Amino acid sequence: MALFVQKFGGTSVGSFERIEAVADRIARSARAGHQLVVVLSAMAGETNRLLSLAKQVAATPCPRELDMLVSTGEQISIALMAMALHKRGLKAQSLLGEQVGIVTDGRHGRARIREVQTERMQAMLAYGIIPIVAGFQGRCLDNQVTTLGRGGSDTTAVAIAAALKADECQIFTDVDGVYTTDPRVEPKARKMDNITFEEMLELSSLGAKVLQIRSVEYAGRYNVPLRVLSSFRDGEGTLITYEENAMNAPVVSGIAFSRDEASLTLVGVPDAANVAATILAPIGDAGIDVDMIVQNATGDGKADFTFTVARNDLDQAQALLAPVLPQLGVAALRSDDTLCKVSVVGVGMKNHSGVASQMFQTLGQEGISIALIATSEIKISVAIDEKYLELAVRSLHQSFNLAGEE
Amino acid sequence: MALFVQKFGGTSVGSFERIEAVADRIARSARAGHQLVVVLSAMAGETNRLLSLAKQVAATPCPRELDMLVSTGEQISIALMAMALHKRGLKAQSLLGEQVGIVTDGRHGRARIREVQTERMQAMLAYGIIPIVAGFQGRCLDNQVTTLGRGGSDTTAVAIAAALKADECQIFTDVDGVYTTDPRVEPKARKMDNITFEEMLELSSLGAKVLQIRSVEYAGRYNVPLRVLSSFRDGEGTLITYEENAMNAPVVSGIAFSRDEASLTLVGVPDAANVAATILAPIGDAGIDVDMIVQNATGDGKADFTFTVARNDLDQAQALLAPVLPQLGVAALRSDDTLCKVSVVGVGMKNHSGVASQMFQTLGQEGISIALIATSEIKISVAIDEKYLELAVRSLHQSFNLAGEE
């Protein structure tokens, strides 16, 4: 008998038919003899409906009151699911974040979980009652309703799995697992049976949006085995754990990409230590994420400094740089708003050289020139012309044999 | 500076326009220097919407889960109202029943308040923050969400007013006070400035549905001055208190009535002590309310036994009596499903004889014959042919000079 935390997202409980289907799924797991804790999101569309109510009353509603308002969404889901499970002869009780004892800090709308109390859930499990927990919500120490921010239900599920030392945290979504790349770009993309937390973090932050980054980080930190699987189709999904044997790990696990990148290049900045900080400080202060950063010395005590931002941040970034340019004696400011980013990711990379050269060679053979390169221990990213995105993804997928063809 | 608990019902917060109007009303009271606690119902229609969600999942949803579900309705109202008050520069915070500390028993769907904790509200009031409390809901001792049943927001307001020893509990509704009778029947009906708890109980239970009976009982028990007034129009409404000087109280305060009454008469039952119990036991067991009861000895050791029920209970009551009739040797069972009930109510009646005879005389002058009579200390009720209802109400209103014309 295993203990599973099963989380179902908004689309999984988005209609009465789907609530019934999910209830069937839960009933099958329960009848297979497993202990279950279920975590639910609000029904698809409900959170947006509630936010639009708030917008009709106040242009900038107070975050505390927004939390009070939107936390009703999950409350409705859990009550309805408990009813659907009762109908199937199962014992189940819905629980609010506060009733579980999900204690958060006081940052409304983006609270972090501080503690998950387990006494009530443990007692219910001992009596054979399935706790149906409202995701996304908690209470801070002075007993205010808080929410964890969008996608916070994943975090709720992982935090509960960690606190209960569950055998697995199962995240049910509308995809049946994590793929080697986006199947809409490369139809040969293969669902992976296993992947490491590190790879999942690189893949999800790079655009393969299956899981909330924070929940993956959290699962990694507490070593909670995380499984992504489909709410609607049977299958084993993808299990995310720590690598057990890095030598056997595939060199490259997957190809991630993101569209709508833009680069800014400051030509002829002084080749000095604090230049990067001077350039990036106003960008960061404005809340704009900077991704790839490259500084090339040009040999005359000068350097070219290039970085990428999301394309719709480009204009604002340019404006923010304007006062900095004369200060640094920049010769020219160039921008490119036709870029995309493609990354190969894999923990096996740590122990294999040659991944970068194979990547560059593959792209070169297709005539794709590389604008920028950034690397980490388990990832190599390149910025290229966006028109080559699909071609680059498919040729790399082929080159690293990700479709699993021998 | 006074402390008022202000309760606004579902129609008062039933649209964005109305929420804004109520927020204006609250702001006026706050700016007049009063301390306020606001209690809200769910937006009109929301509770029914939630119940219909439940009905789509389960034919007979578990009461615990229904409470979890429907309690979201008030949660939405309080969050939106807090936002609307912030917009007006007022400090306000929404509070769930649980956050206030409204402790109830565990009877889901019809819980009774056991205790209202005041520390949090007191602290907020001390800081000039208006608590906006979700009506209708509480928590029982093992931390389950409970609801007080339909109309429970009135009870929440009165319970908070009692716990805080508020100067007044103000119930804002869509009428501007309590009238001497229904203005739709007698246009000369006059809004009363004052009325006693006892009179209000008799008037509301007799069909002048302005306030929940339970909240009036509660207010009476804890001696909380209760004021009924309009959400939408200015005015002093009607203040409900204990009588201060019964000698000065009007002999008759108001005329209540109810339609759709029916009577059943058992002709020739034994004139014995336990006959009433034998007849009424099966009726009561079936949950049918019996109202007026009259037993007339006919002089031969027999009696005629008559009682009234709501008209749509008549068929069931007749069926329930069938087995009893032969047992009692009843000569005939007669029924009348064309009755209504008209009552005159007034605390001053206690000290004045002659009200009954004036009532009967007035009706007699109009040619209205009386089928049944029932009396209490402050009320005289008659059952009459329903076609005379309006005539009876108007002639009694005139006879007791309730329009206030000298």
Q: For residues B237, B240, B245 and B250, what is the CA-based torsion angle, rounded to 10 degrees?
A: 60
Q: Which of A13, A69, A130, A145 to mutate to test the interface with B (most CBs of B within 10 A)?
A: A69
Give yes or no for a contact between B74 and B136, defined as CB atoms under 8 angstroms apart. yes
Treating both helix axes as pointing N-terminal to C-terminal, what angle do B46-57 and B72-87 enclose, rounded to 10 degrees? 150
pLDDT in tens, A268-315: 998 887 888 899 999 999 989 898 998 888 888 888 999 999 999 999
Residue B234: partners with Cβ closer than 8 Å, 6 or more residues away: none
User: Hey, are the CB atoms on A80 and B53 less than 8 Å from each other?
Assistant: yes
Query: ipTM score here?
Result: 0.83
Q: Which of B277, B80, B54, B340 is nearest to A53 (CA)?
A: B80
Predicted confidence at residue B227, as pLDDT, reads 96
Nearest to A206 by CA among A349, A398, A393: A393
> Residue B406's pLDDT is what?
47
The Cα A271–Cα A269 span in angstroms is: 6
What is the model's pLDDT at position B361? 94
Overall size of chain A counted in residues: 406
Helices (H), B32-140: 46-57, 63-70, 72-87, 97-100, 119-126
pLDDT of residue A205: 65
What is the pLDDT, as a whole number, of residue A246?
54
- Measure Cα distances from A88 to A5, A27, A234, A249, B220 in Å: 19, 7, 20, 43, 46
Rounded to an integer, what is the distance from CA A72 to the centroid of its chain?
Answer: 24
A75 contacts in B (CB within 8 Å)? 68-69, 71-72, 75
Nearest-angstrom CA–CA distance, A160 and A117: 9
- For the beta carbon of residue A367, count every other beta carbon within 10 angstroms: 8
d(CA A243, CA A227): 15
Q: What is the DSSP string of B333-370?
A: EEEEEEEEEEEEE-GGGGG-S-HHHHHHHHHHHTTPPE
Element containing residue B132 per DSSP (H, E): strand B130-134
**Selection from B241, B227, B230 nearest residue B5 by Cα:** B227
- DSSP for B133-198, please give it: EETTEEEETT--EEE--TTHHHHHHHHHHHHHT-SEEEEEESSSS-BSS-TTT-TT--B-SEEEHH
pLDDT tens, residue by residue, A91-124: 999 999 999 999 999 999 999 999 999 999 999 9
Beta-strand pair B238-241/B226-230: antiparallel
Nearest by CB to B76, from A53, A79, A87: name it. Answer: A53
User: Who contacts B292 (Cβ-Cβ below 8 Å, separation ≥6)?
Assistant: B263, B306, B307, B308, B341, B372, B373, B374, B381, B383
Residue A82's closest chain B neighbor by CA? Answer: B65
Out of A48-62, A157-171, B64-78, B339-353, pick the least confident: B339-353
What is the edge-to-edge ordering of all strands in the sheet holding A290-297? A290-297, A302-310, A254-270, A332-345, A379-385, A370-376
Phi, psi of B40 (to 5 degrees): -125, 150
Our CA-based measurement puts residue B3 at a distance from the nearest CA of chain A, in whole angstroms, of 24
- Band the pLDDT of A248: cuts 50, 70, 90: low
B82·A76 Cβ contact <8 A: no
As a whole number, the mean pLDDT across chain A is: 92
Q: What's the count of helices (H) and strands (E) in chain B, helices before strands?
A: 14, 18
pLDDT at residue number A271: 85
- Interface contact A143-B64, CB threshold 8 A: no
Q: Give residue limits of the domains in chain B.
A: 3-174, 254-399
pLDDT, position B26: 97
Closest chain A residue to B73 measured between Cα atoms? A72
What is the SS3 assignment for A255? strand
Contact yes or no for A53 and B80 at CB 8 A? yes
Residues in chain B: 406
pLDDT of B205 reads 64
Residues of chain B contacting A96 with CB distance shorter than 8 Å: 68, 145
Instruction: Measure CB to CB from residue B61 to each of A53, A56, A83 and give the nearest one.
Output: A83
Burial of residue B230, with CB atoms counted within 10 A of its CB: 0-12 exposed, 13-18 middle, 19 or more buried: middle
Q: From the candidates A13, A17, A26, A72, which should be mutated to test the interface with B, based on the most B CB atoms within 10 A?
A: A72
Closest residue by Cα to residue A340 from A370, A301, A318: A370
**Cα–Cα distance measured from residue A315 to residue A277, given in angstroms and rounded to the nearest whole number:** 20
One-letter identity of residue B31 = R
Q: What is the pLDDT of residue A211?
A: 79
User: How many Å lie between the alpha carbon of B11 and the closest alpha carbon of chain A?
Assistant: 17
pTM confidence score: 0.84
Mean pLDDT value across residues A216-230: 92
Q: Where are the alpha helices (DSSP H) in A109-260?
A: 119-126, 152-164, 197-205, 213-221
B68 interaction partners in chain A (CB closer than 8 Å): 75, 78-79, 82, 94, 96
Give the pLDDT score at A209. 66
Q: Under a CB-based contact definition with an 8 Å cutoff, are residues B171 and B228 in contact? A: yes
Consult the annotation and say whether B362 binds a ligand: no
**Rounded distance, CA A332 to CA A325, Å?**
9
The per-residue b/e assignment along B62-94, b for 16 or more CB within 10 angstroms, e otherwise, is: bebbbbbbbbbbbbbbbbbbbbbbbbeebebbb
Q: Does domain A3-174 have CATH number 3.40.1160.10?
A: yes
Residue among A69, A143, A144 whose CB faces B76 most closely: A69
Q: Examine the pLDDT at A125 and tell me if it is beyond 70.
A: yes
**A interface toward B at CB cutoff 8 Å?**
16, 19, 50, 53-54, 56-58, 61-62, 64-66, 68-69, 71-72, 75-76, 78-80, 82-84, 86-87, 93-94, 96, 98-99, 143-145
Q: Do B64 and A96 touch (CB under 8 A)?
A: no
Domain B254-399 falls in which CATH fold?
Answer: VC0802-like (3.30.2130)
Percentage of chain A exceeding pLDDT 90:
76
Mean pLDDT for A162-187 is: 93
A208 band by pLDDT with thresholds 50, 70 and 90 = low
Shortest CA distance to B145 belongs to which of B108, B118, B100? Answer: B108
For the CA atoms of chain B, what is the radius of gyration? 24
Chain B residues with at least one Cβ partner in A under 8 Å: 16, 19-20, 50, 53-54, 56-58, 61-62, 64-66, 68-69, 71-72, 75-76, 78-80, 82-84, 86-87, 93-94, 96, 98-99, 143-145
Instruction: State the average pLDDT over residues A361-383.
Output: 92
State how far residue B30 is from chain A, nearest Cα, in angstroms: 20
Q: What is the DSSP string of B375-403?
A: EETTEEEEEEEGGGHHHHHHHHHHHTTTT
Residue type present at position A8: F
Q: How confident is the model at residue A206 (pLDDT cuts 50, 70, 90)?
A: low
Q: In angstroms, what CA-CA distances link A119 with A124, A137, B143, B299, B339?
A: 9, 18, 13, 72, 60
**What pLDDT is recorded for position A109?**
94
Tokens of A98: 């506060």
- pLDDT bucket at A351, cuts 50 / 70 / 90: confident
Q: Rounded to an integer, what distance in angstroms lies between the CA atom of residue B324 and that of residue B278?
A: 8
Q: Which residues of chain B have pLDDT under 70?
A: 205-209, 244-248, 405-406
**Is B9 annotated as ligand-binding?**
yes
* pLDDT category of residue A406 using cuts at 50, 70 and 90: very low
- State mean pLDDT over A83-94: 98
